[in-house]
Amino acid sequence: MSHLVKRLLSLVGVLFCVVSITFLLIRVSPGGPFDGERKIPEAIEKQLLAKYKLDGSLWQQYTGYLGDLLRGDLRLSTKYRNRSVNEILAQTLPVTLALGGAAFLLATFAGVWLGTLAAMHRATWRDHAAMFAALAAISLPSYITGPLMILVFALTLGWLPAGGWGSFSHLILPALVLAAPAAAVIARLMRGSMVETLQQDFIRTARAKGLRESAVVYRHALRIAILPVVSYLGPLAAHLLTGSIVVETVFHIPGAGGFFVHSILNRDGFLLGGMVIVYCTLLVFFNLLVDFAYGLLDRRIKSHA
Amino acid sequence: MAFSTAGSNPMLDPRVLHRVKKNPAAVVSAAFLAFIVLACVVGPEFLSASLGEPGPNQYAPPSWEHPFGTDLNGRDVLYRVLTGGRISLLVGLCGAVVSLFIGTAWGLIAGYAGGRVDALMMRVVDILYSVPRLIFILIAINAFNAGLQEWASQEGLQWLVQSSRIAILILTLGFIEWLTMARIVRGQVLSLKERQFVTAARALGQSHTKILTRHLLPNLAGIILVYLTLTIPAVVIDESFLSFLGLGIQAPQASWGSLLADGAGAINPLRSFWWLLVFPAAAMSLTLLALNFLGDALRDAFDTRGR
pLDDT tens per residue, range B2-36: 344 444 455 556 677 777 777 777 888 888 888 88
- Go through chain B and tell me how many residues it has: 307
For A233, name the nearest residue in chain B, comparing CA atoms only.
B130
- What is the number of residues in chain A? 305
A177's enclosing H/E stretch is helix A168-197
Q: Which residues contact B193 (CB under 8 A, 6 or more apart)?
A: B111, B112, B216
Q: How far apart, in whole angstroms, are the C-alpha atoms of residue A265 and residue A268? A: 8
- B132–A238: do the CB atoms touch at under 8 Å? yes
Q: Is any Cβ of chain B less than 8 angstroms from the Cβ of A30?
A: yes
Q: Evaluate whether A52 touches A33 at the Cβ level (below 8 Å).
A: yes
Are the C-beta atoms of B216 and B202 separated by less than 8 Å? Answer: no
Q: Residue A105 has what pLDDT? A: 92
Q: What is the pLDDT of residue B4?
A: 40
In one-letter notation, the amino acid at residue A183 is A
Mapped onto helix, strand or coil, the DSSP state of residue B70 is: strand
Minimum CA–CA partner of A20 in chain B: B136
Q: Are A242 and B278 inside 8 Å of each other by CB? A: no
Name the residue in chain B with its Cα closest to that of A285.
B130
Probe site for chain B from A10, A128, A148 (most B CB atoms < 10 A): A148
pLDDT tens for each residue of B218-259: 878 777 888 888 888 888 888 888 888 878 787 778 888 888
Under 8 Å between Cβ of A110 and A236: no
CA quadruple A174, A175, A180, A184: dihedral, nearest 10? 160
**ipTM of this complex:** 0.77
Distance from CA of B273 to the nearest CA of A (A): 10
Task: Say if pTM beats, i.e. exceeds, 0.95.
Answer: no
Rounded-to-integer distance, Cα B47 and Cα B223, Å: 39
Distance between first and last Cα of chain B: 34
Residue B100, pLDDT above cutoff 50: yes
Nearest to A206 by CA among A192, A223, A189, A193: A223
Q: State whether residue B147 sits within 8 Å of chain A by CB.
A: yes
pLDDT (tens, 9 = 90+) of chain A, 305 residues, equals 567 787 788 788 888 888 888 888 777 766 666 666 566 777 777 777 777 777 777 787 888 888 877 887 777 777 777 788 888 888 888 888 888 889 999 999 999 998 888 888 887 888 888 888 888 888 888 888 888 888 888 777 778 777 777 777 788 888 888 999 899 989 988 888 888 888 888 888 888 887 787 777 787 788 888 888 888 888 888 888 888 888 888 888 888 888 888 887 777 778 888 888 888 888 888 888 887 887 777 765 554 44
By C-alpha distance, which of A54, A73, A130, A275 is closest to B138? A275
Residue A104: predicted pLDDT: 92
Which candidate, B251, B235, B280, B229, places its Cα nearest to that of B82? B280
When the pLDDT of each residue in chain B is averaged and rounded to a whole number, the result is 79
Q: Where are the alpha helices (DSSP H) in chain B?
A: 14-21, 24-46, 77-113, 115-130, 133-155, 158-162, 164-176, 179-192, 196-203, 208-210, 217-244, 256-265, 274-302
Predicted pLDDT at B12: 52
